[in-house]
Amino acid sequence: MFFSKYSASGNDFLLTHTFKYQANSYRDIAKIICHRQKGIGADGLIVLKPHNIYDIEWEFYNSDGSQPNMCGNGTRATAMYARDFGLAAQKQKILTKAGVINVELQEDMVESELTQAVILQKDIIEFNIKWWLIDTGVPHLVCENANLSKEDLKSLRHKYNANVNIAKLDEGRVIARTFERGVEDETLACGTGMAAMFYYLFKQGKVSNSTLFNPASGENLYLKEEKGKIFLKGRVKKICDFIYQI
């Protein structure tokens, strides 16, 4: 099978496309090729499929084969892959399990209009720290300025069945840390996680409505809110094409 590898601000994905519509057929392949020692290695697998209304419909798989409703950086990587292979233009509509995501490309910068954030629960106390649980396409547990180990984050991920995020304000920017379910580790970036962190801080008046985020990858991402929607913007780069013998 033919695949390409793209990195969206640190989140890396393996992508392929098909002109046949066949749902939920790539779970086992995702577990094989996303494995960092036994396969190519990636945070997730994205399969682009045709749609009679929208530019693209996708199947998205985490590296463990699970299928989340959304992935913010995944939509940005998808849009660049679709443009590179002539499947869609600069402005695209991508159908995900969380709904339709509007994406726009400007050279190597890609901006996704994410789904509306929903606060599921406020003032959760864990490790003597106050957290919010926010859905930005997938659920995220969010706090500020916590110094917790990876094992602590892992325990919260399983307790709340959510991604776990820590935001740290630093001279006008936000340093972001995320433990992702489905990958079951900290990742270099998480688009919906940064959206949840932005929403958490913005609703409390701690950041302006156009904020620079630096995830573990060190790359720059920009988040803002317009008419209730959160926009995520950053660079995407193609790593390689390859053929993998399944």
- Annotated ligand binding at 73? The verdict is yes
- Annotated ligand binding at 157? The verdict is no
- Annotated ligand binding at 145? The verdict is no
Task: Determine contact, residues 96/58, Cβ cutoff 8 Å.
Answer: yes
Task: Determine contact, residues 9/189, Cβ cutoff 8 Å.
Answer: yes
- Annotated ligand binding at 11? The verdict is yes
240 catalytic residue (yes or no): no
190 catalytic residue (yes or no): yes
**Which residue among 34, 143, 190, 240 is the active-site one?**
190
CB atoms within 10 A of CB 121: 12
**Which residue among 34, 71, 143, 240 is the active-site one?**
71
CB atoms within 10 A of CB 127: 12
CB atoms within 10 A of CB 208: 11
- Annotated ligand binding at 128? The verdict is no
CB atoms within 10 A of CB 91: 12
Structure tokens of 218? 């060190």
- Annotated ligand binding at 192? The verdict is yes
Closest by CA position to 110, among listed 59, 75, 60: 75
- Annotated ligand binding at 39? The verdict is no
Could you tell me which residues come within 8 angstroms of residue 140 by beta carbon, excluding any fewer than 6 positions away? 133, 134, 162, 163, 164, 165, 192, 193, 196, 197
- Annotated ligand binding at 220? The verdict is no
Residues taking part in catalysis: 71, 190
**Known binding-site positions for substrate:** 11, 62, 72-73, 163, 180-181, 191-192
